[in-house]
Structure 1
Amino acid sequence: MSRSQWRGSRRPRAKQARGASRVGERFEAVVGPVAHGGHCVVRLDPPEARVVFVRHAIPGERVVLEITEGTDGDRFWRGDAVEVLEPSADRITPPCPYAGPGLCGGCDFQHVALPAQRGLKTAVVREQLSRLAGITWDGEVEAVPGDVDGLHWRSRQRYARLPDGGRAMRKHRSHDLIPVETCLLEGPSSDHTALGRSFEVADEGFWQVHPGAPDVLVTTVLEMLAPQPGERCLDLYAGVGLFSRFLLDAVGESGRVVAIEGDRTASALSARNCPGLVVSAGSVDQVLTTSYDEPFDLVVLDPPREGARRAVVEQVVDRAPRAVAYVACDPAALARDLAIFAELGYRLRELRGFDLFPMTHHIECVALLEPSGVTDRRSR
């Protein structure tokens, strides 16, 4: 679980221009559906006939958009809604003065009412599952206790620094700095607890930044897996042992929990946080290739943003678990891995989405997979 979580906006890779720049040009258009990544799709009318991924817009609005990235030869452009001609009923004034076109790139949806933000995220999860895995999901992205109207939830916040030492945030996909006094997402420091249990975490180590995240994720994983005394569990990308500790409690002394984590510091801390845990430090795919080649009843997967990928999924299926809980911070990566699981005989039984990153496009999902031939436990 020592993955790189959201730390603001992503920065673009340098690329060679494919014709004349269109940056700064403006077009009037109706906004299409939300897309994964914090923007909406706009299809410009001919003669442009180009797809533009537009930030600071809401589906159905009529806006004036300004191109922020794009040349004549690009398949798509990027833009900002700089003027709203026909606003959505879900549009609000951003609570932060640094949120908006040309300003801080950290938040994607401050211009959207909080319930509607979760609706947009729900649409993204549904679209990614449908398009990449052929799965229909009728769930909703759920609110999680621990923030204040979507603000003050980041228990660890980093600022860029100006030459005079002042605080700054970066523009979207840019190194340019925006001076700020404070970020409204910043909240109290985390106490590194889950369900009343304390965990030791390195100074720069990973821990969920939303204060409600550890409790809701552990509770959901345990409810989905229903671990029993004596069962054998694999905790992959285990971090400092968040899930392992509670799996150990559930399977008891007659059971076994093996935790694999690539970050050696986090792996060492998991052994201290979870007495009785079998710990292995190393790349998950490599460790599984050479070790623990026996059946396991349960598997927890909590991979980095790019997902587990085929090599790990194949190794998980090879252990023939009765159930897999997959904790995902990227719905596209989750969908791609679910498609691999389905190909190998495991299907999605349940999925829940959580709004652990309000005001941004990020979403956390927990999925339950079981062998395709197993009767749904909820119908027993």
Structure 2
Amino acid sequence: MASSVPPLLDLDITGIAHGGTFIARHEGRVVFVSDAIPGERVRARITDGAKSSFWRAETVEVLDASPHRRPHVWPEADMSHDPEERAGGADLGHIDLDHQRTLKRQVLTEALDKFAGPGLEAPVVSPVDDTDGTGWRTRVSLHVDADGIVGPYAARSHRVIPVASHPLARPLVAAEALSLRNAKPGRIDLVESSDGEVHVLRRPERGKRPAPRVIVERVGNRSFRVDADGFWQVHQNAASALDGAVRGALEGRIDPDAVHFDLYGGVGLLSSSLAAAGATDIVTVESSARATAHARENLADVDATAVTARVDRYLASLPDGTRAGTIVLDPPRAGAGRAVVEGVHALSPDAVVYVACDPVALARDLGTFRGLGWDVQSLEAFDLFPHSHHLETIAVLSR
């Protein structure tokens, strides 16, 4: 850190940034501050002052508290601990739940305004249950350090923090996590499947990884086989919420004679939504061979073809003149990107349903779509990650 950077600053918090930090300014320089709330005045410790354009800081004392501040939902992440000793993974847990959703909508609004072009209104961020935002994580990753300490990492660190609670985890996952003893250094994943069993997956720092364990998840009356360490939604209600939202978005948009695509299709969750909406010829594309193999099993009773390929390369390989009915697009956090958006556009689909876990990546891709002549017909947002900065958004586009 440069010698001219003061170790502590008193800062007025003016907004929230994408990624769960908060915005202040010091002598014209932006400072990104953790554990604050817009409207507060805080005392913050500078942790990264190397850049001339912005600094990073951690709140060590609240001088003028927001009415939306509450005791942290995770005691081990509370302000009473030194910032280096605060458990990470619940970066909005010090804010009342309704205001968290207001702030998430603000982040989405600013991303849309900056990257997607004018005229788009961010939707209200809706809950998917009526709880206090705890007890929802079916998947928890912990770490074991060289001294055998088991816990989460501290925020923005690889320092393992010992904890006595896991309030965001499902109760059985939390109990299993607190019972872990005598583990070798490495990572431990705990996964609760739909049958209520908690699977403990140990990943030592060195050595051969064991063969994947297959579990079964359920959405409505449909079962999905998935690797326990593969991708599945973390919130216990998330898969059902997204299935219902995508089905609703697809209503009236399915041409039964067309080919429909589920891009970044995973193990077939949203392909099943397409089938339920009336699609009879579905191609699901996913780069993971394990996930694609599961998709073939999971979709055996519908007219679906599972392809293992990178989405951008798959789209580029299609013959000129290939046309699509409706395309469901569910990319990873980095978004689809220009090449994929242009590849989707080249298929001249009737509609695109875009499922996004990152508001900035979504906004960038929507900007590309709009530049190609697409209109955003609707936007929905869901709080699938209470007490963290993440949210899920579904956009429906047509021409």
TM-score over 0.5 (shorter chain): yes
Q: Quote the RMSD (CA, aligned, Å).
A: 1.7
Alignment of 1:343 onto 2:371: yes
User: Are the equivalent residues in 1 in contact too, given 2:287–2:309 (CA < 8 A)?
Assistant: yes
Structure 2 distance, partners of 1:211, 1:295, is 36
Alignment of 1:25 onto 2:7: yes
Taking structure 2 as the reference length, what is the TM-score of the superposition?
Answer: 0.83
Within a 5 Å distance, the mapping from 1:269-284 to structure 2 comes to 269-275=294-300, 276-284=303-311
Structure 2 distance, partners of 1:297, 1:32, is 45
Structure 2 distance, partners of 1:239, 1:21, is 50
Structure 2 distance, partners of 1:202, 1:362, is 24
Shift in CA distance, 182/161, structure 1 to aligned 2, threshold 3 Å: farther
| 73-82 or 357-366: bigger deviation | 73-82
- Give the aligned length: 346
Alignment of 1:208 onto 2:187: no
| 255-264 or 163-172: bigger deviation | 163-172
User: Are the equivalent residues in 2 in contact too, given 1:30–1:42 (CA < 8 A)?
Assistant: yes
| 111-120 or 228-237: bigger deviation | 228-237
Within a 5 Å distance, the mapping from 1:77-226 to structure 2 comes to 77-100=55-78, 101-102=83-84, 103-135=86-118, 136-145=120-129, 148-187=131-170, 189-191=192-194, 192-226=217-251
Secondary structure of the corresponding residue to residue 199 of structure 1: strand
Q: Structure 2: give runs of 5+ residues left out of the alignment.
A: 173-191, 195-216
Shift in CA distance, 239/292, structure 1 to aligned 2, threshold 3 Å: farther
Match of 2:257 in 1: 230
Secondary structure of the corresponding residue to residue 200 of structure 1: strand
Q: 1:231 Cα shift?
A: 3.7
Shift in CA distance, 297/32, structure 1 to aligned 2, threshold 3 Å: same
Shift in CA distance, 240/292, structure 1 to aligned 2, threshold 3 Å: farther
Alignment of 1:70 onto 2:76: no
Match of 1:356 in 2: 384
What amino acid sits opposite 2:60 in the alignment?
V
Match of 1:245 in 2: 272
Q: 1:248 Cα shift?
A: 2.2
What amino acid sits opposite 1:195 in the alignment?
G
Runs of 4+ in 1 over 6 A off after TM superposition: none
Structure 2 distance, partners of 1:53, 1:316, is 36
Q: Structure 1: give runs of 5+ residues left out of the alignment.
A: 1-16, 372-380
Within a 5 Å distance, the mapping from 1:20-59 to structure 2 comes to 20=3, 22=5, 25-44=7-26, 46=27, 49-59=28-38
Q: 1:322 Cα shift?
A: 1.1
Q: 1:197 Cα shift?
A: 1.2
Secondary structure of the corresponding residue to residue 156 of structure 2: coil
Structure 2 distance, partners of 1:231, 1:219, is 22
Structure 2 distance, partners of 1:292, 1:124, is 39
Match of 2:351 in 1: 323
Taking structure 1 as the reference length, what is the TM-score of the superposition?
Answer: 0.87
Secondary structure of the corresponding residue to residue 98 of structure 1: helix
User: Are the equivalent residues in 2 in contact too, given 1:156–1:190 (CA < 8 A)?
Assistant: no
Structure 2 distance, partners of 1:74, 1:305, is 28
Secondary structure of the corresponding residue to residue 352 of structure 1: strand
Give CA-to-partner distance per residue, 1:109-140, whole Å, 9 cap, x none: 11100001001101000000001112431421
Give CA-to-partner distance per residue, 1:35-86, whole Å, 9 cap, x none: 1110111011x3xx32110111110111111112213x53111111211111
What amino acid sits opposite 1:247 in the alignment?
L
User: Are the equivalent residues in 1 in contact too, given 2:34–2:57 (CA < 8 A)?
Assistant: yes
